[in-house]
Structures are given as structure tokens and as C-alpha cells.
């Protein structure tokens, strides 16, 4: 069996390497338990046609289901935040900011809990002052929530996780 991974890693599974998800070449994958793994459109026809052959392909869409806070910059702002199809949470921070360091683990937890439902980014205001100025960031940490490219809400300061969770929940599809 071979897995084709689109996130810059490839895992070729063969008889010497056992996959924890698959115990035999003919076993149907339970992709619902595996975040980011999605069958290609022709998955079932490939599986039935190639049951006796090794080489069943499953593509990992892990980069679409990221469970970590990624860095956004002036150069990537439009692509990652403005054109995003999912709601976006952006933390404006700086390395010297104590409250920013306090809230960072909370943002990390939210990124994991809402993986695939929202995108979480952090923007260093020292490195990208133009974006911070554009959105009127005068105090850090500030968390902005965007939906369909529009700023919907802001949360200022090192707030409890429950505050950020309630904010995120407002923008998730039912």
C-alpha cells in the first residue's frame, strides 16, 4: 500500500512497514478517524479494481486541516486571511509582550480543537506594522476574527480561553 502525502512528506507503505490504520490490503480504510485523510474521487473504483495489486492511493490533505497556529505576514495576509473560506482567528503579538506569551498556549489549544473549522494565525506586530496599523491595533495581544475577508470581532488582552471559545463559536457553521 502507498500513501501519497501532499504536505511535503510521503509515506510509502509496503510489507516491511505496517500502517496503524490498515491491517490488510483489502481492508476498507476508516478515514473518519484520521484527520486530513480523504479518498480521491475515484477511490472506490481504484480499490475494487486493484484489490489484488499493491498501490492503493490515499491523499493526505493535512495542509487543509492544520491544527497549529501559523505565522502570517504582510506578504501572505491576503492569501491566508482575506481569501480564506473558513473563519480566521489572528493573534497580534510581539516577542517582548508578557501577556502575549500567556495567551499563546490558549490560541494553540483553540487551533487544535477547531482544526478544519477555523484557521489560526499569529502576526508579529514588530515585523508587520502595516497590517497592525491597517486594523487599528493599539494594544497587544489583540485577537481579530475574520469571516469572508471581513473583520468581525476583536478581543483585546490576555483573556480566558472561555472568552475566545465563545467568540469562535459565533462564527462556526451550524
Catalytic site residue 34? Answer: no
Q: Which of 34, 60, 97, 128 is catalytic?
A: 97
Question: Could you give the C-alpha distances from 79 to 39, 73, 89, 139, 171, in angstroms and in order?
Answer: 26, 10, 14, 25, 20
Catalytic site residue 97? Answer: yes
CB 143 within 8 A of CB 107: yes
Helices (H) and strands (E) in the chain, counts: 5, 8
Q: Which of 11, 34, 60, 100 is catalytic?
A: 100
- How many CB atoms are located within 10 Å of the residue 64 CB? 14
Question: Could you give the C-alpha distances from 68 to 25, 27, 50, 81, in angstroms and in order?
Answer: 32, 31, 36, 15
d(CA 1, CA 11): 10
d(CA 96, CA 83): 30
d(CA 23, CA 5): 19
Report, as residue numbers or ranges, the catalytic residues: 97, 100
Amino acid at each position: 500500500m502507498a500513501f501519497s502525502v501532499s504536505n511535503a512528506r510521503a509515506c510509502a507503505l509496503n510489507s516491511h512497514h505496517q500502517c496503524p490504520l490498515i491491517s490488510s490490503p483489502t481492508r476498507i480504510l476508516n478515514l473518519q478517524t484520521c484527520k486530513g485523510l480523504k479518498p480521491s474521487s475515484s477511490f472506490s473504483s481504484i480499490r475494487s479494481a486493484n484489490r489484488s495489486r499493491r498501490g492503493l492511493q490515499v491523499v493526505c490533505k493535512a495542509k487543509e486541516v492544520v491544527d497549529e497556529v501559523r505565522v502570517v505576514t504582510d506578504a501572505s495576509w491576503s492569501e491566508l486571511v482575506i481569501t480564506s473560506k473558513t473563519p480566521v482567528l489572528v493573534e497580534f503579538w510581539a516577542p517582548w509582550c508578557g501577556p502575549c506569551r500567556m495567551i499563546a498556549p490558549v490560541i494553540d489549544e483553540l487551533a487544535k480543537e477547531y482544526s478544519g473549522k477555523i484557521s489560526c494565525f499569529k502576526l508579529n506586530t514588530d515585523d508587520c506594522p502595516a497590517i497592525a496599523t491597517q486594523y487599528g491595533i493599539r494594544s497587544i495581544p489583540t485577537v481579530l476574527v475574520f469571516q469572508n475577508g471581513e473583520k468581525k470581532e476583536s478581543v483585546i488582552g490576555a483573556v480566558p480561553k472561555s472568552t475566545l471559545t465563545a467568540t469562535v463559536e459565533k462564527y462556526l457553521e451550524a
